[in-house]
Chains A and B, each alone.
Chain A
């Protein structure tokens, strides 16, 4: 029953999203909406590994950048349509996640995090040296005019909305299935989970691949959106920090937490861009992140739970 409600809600959101370009003419709505939805995809994708399995990925910026450049590469190579670009980005991200996971998750979770810390620098290095996709100078991507949508920005907005809906559906499916229970078990105690027959390594690798694919796919529509990509901003600092902050602020135990976090943070950012410099904004996000990690490690959802559990006997 709940599943049905959830499904219908997603379909309704998609239908509204498809209609929006004809109802709203103000382009700002789509520019801002694109960023908010991109945050939803990144946050939800990150949470599949970071929240459900408890393995922190500090390299979200690298995955998003990889998605952008996979899209640029496919566009330049065969003038691939957006769908193919997104699929290509997802495959690249999945392979990268799987590879990173395979190299490091067998040993200790700490090493996975350390490796992801270094990942952004490495991918940046590769792109800077790769002149086909523009190198350090960056590359201009002129998107062809879309057939069904009035403007390119509403087109990428809708693409991002589809991605957001897909990622939330994936996250919820993982959470409710045996995979989610297995991940929760290994998060609580990896050895105990392993001993009771949970295939921990396979689950971790699966989560790493799905998470990587989703985060990378969030980057794929960006070249069409901004029509210019360059490595310094593609592998920037903000995404790595935001990807971590959003689920932690919202709550990492359920798919709804990252959604709340993403909407809050993108809302804050939209409000902040007109009033304060980007650096101050990052500073605030960093401080809020620290506050949550210290005081409310389960995020806003955890705070609500704690409040409602107060009356009960533990």
Chain B
């Protein structure tokens, strides 16, 4: 009995890890690589969830709806980065704490705007696979967890290939390393960063669909993801995609075990404990380079 309970907890933890991976990948790029502390990312993810909800109202599958909305998020990300660049980086005010405050303000404004626009009620999507589950032996896997896991795996794998195999991906990693060197080889660091930020924002749309498939969404849900996503990015080692996937699975597993064996109300504390432990023991993270 205990073994079955444990096995189920581990499997759902793994699946949860997929969801957390897609929720954190945007921050891995924005904060891990570009050093832009985009606290508003989880709130944009909630916006993505509402876009998926909107698509679902019109009869479109939430995942497909989020893919349709993704280019808009990409463009919004580019505009958003440009605004940030004009306000802070170009003036030589790369002060992280000021930009932190800026993004915190954006997150609050967006959250309140969502409250005003859609209200505080929980919204969920209505699709066939939510509510059904796949049983293998004594392990049951609800489809509402499997789909986000698949999204997480595809986006994570795709991101890893993109950053390691394509020219643009290499440029993004280079700009994280040394943006002056990029100028020397005649690439505009700002352009590369704008692109990267757009991609980070694009993942928010996909993550939104994943989130609303797993659970009903209200405008406040982003707050739960702020701590969790930053914990994952720090545990991963800033800017590491494989690290993000591993860290997301670790946090997913831990939360799932806590939910099963301690109590669901304690789960929100897990990410914070992991974050503090990482900072205390190994601030460079599991896949990160020491700095």
Give the interface of A toward B (CB within 8 A): 54-56, 58, 103-104, 107, 109-111, 113-115, 117-122, 124-126, 128-129, 237, 241, 244, 248, 279-280, 282-283, 285-287, 289-290, 293-294, 297
Contact = CB atoms under 8 A, between A and B. Distances in A.
B266 A129 contact: yes
B231 interface: yes
B105 A118 contact: no
A118 B109 contact: no
Interface in B92-109: 93, 96-98, 100-102, 104-106, 108-109
B224 A121 contact: yes
Contact of A294 (B87, B223, B230, B275): B87
Interface stretch (B154-162, B167-175, B276-284): B276-284
Interface in B180-238: 220, 223-224, 226-228, 230-231, 234
A128 B267 CA distance: 12
B279 A56 contact: no
Nearest to A295: B87
Contact of B100 (A113, A120, A121): A113
Contacts of A286: 105-106, 108-109, 112
Contact of A279 (B115, B234, B263, B267): B115
B280 A290 contact: no
B245 to A, nearest CB: 20
B288 interface: no
A109 B95 CA distance: 11
Contacts of A282: 108, 112
B116 interface: yes
Contacts of B224: 121
B269 interface: yes
A121 B263 CA distance: 16
Contact of A290 (B93, B105, B268): B105
Given A114-B234, A114-B275, A290 B109 contact: yes
A166 to B, nearest CB: 27
A55 B283 contact: no
Nearest to B262: A129
Contact of B265 (A58, A111, A125, A289): A125
A7 to B, nearest CB: 33
Interface string B248-291: 00000000000000010111110110011001100100000000
Nearest to B267: A125
B218 to A, nearest CB: 13
Nearest to B86: A294
B191 to A, nearest CB: 22
Contacts of B97: 54-56, 109-110, 113
Nearest to B102: A293
Contacts of B223: 120-121, 237
Given A122-B272, A283-B116, A289-B108, 16 more contacts: A55-B97, A58-B104, A107-B279, A118-B231, A121-B227, A125-B266, A237-B108, A237-B111, A286-B108, A286-B112, A287-B109, A289-B101, A289-B105, A293-B102, A294-B88, A297-B98
Contacts of B49: none
A58 B231 CA distance: 16
A1 B263 CA distance: 60
B246 interface: no
Contacts of B104: 58, 241, 244
B37 interface: yes
A115 B109 contact: no
B271 A118 contact: yes
B119 to A, nearest CB: 10
Nearest to A56: B97
A244 B267 CA distance: 28
Nearest to B226: A117
29 contacts: A54-B97, A55-B97, A56-B100, A58-B100, A104-B276, A107-B283, A110-B100, A114-B37, A114-B230, A114-B234, A115-B272, A117-B39, A117-B230, A118-B227, A118-B275, A121-B227, A121-B268, A122-B268, A124-B268, A125-B269, A279-B115, A282-B108, A289-B101, A290-B106, A293-B101, A293-B102, A294-B88, A294-B102, A297-B98
A201 B220 CA distance: 35
A291 to B, nearest CB: 9
B108 A241 contact: yes
Contact of B112 (A125, A128, A283): A283
A103 B226 contact: no
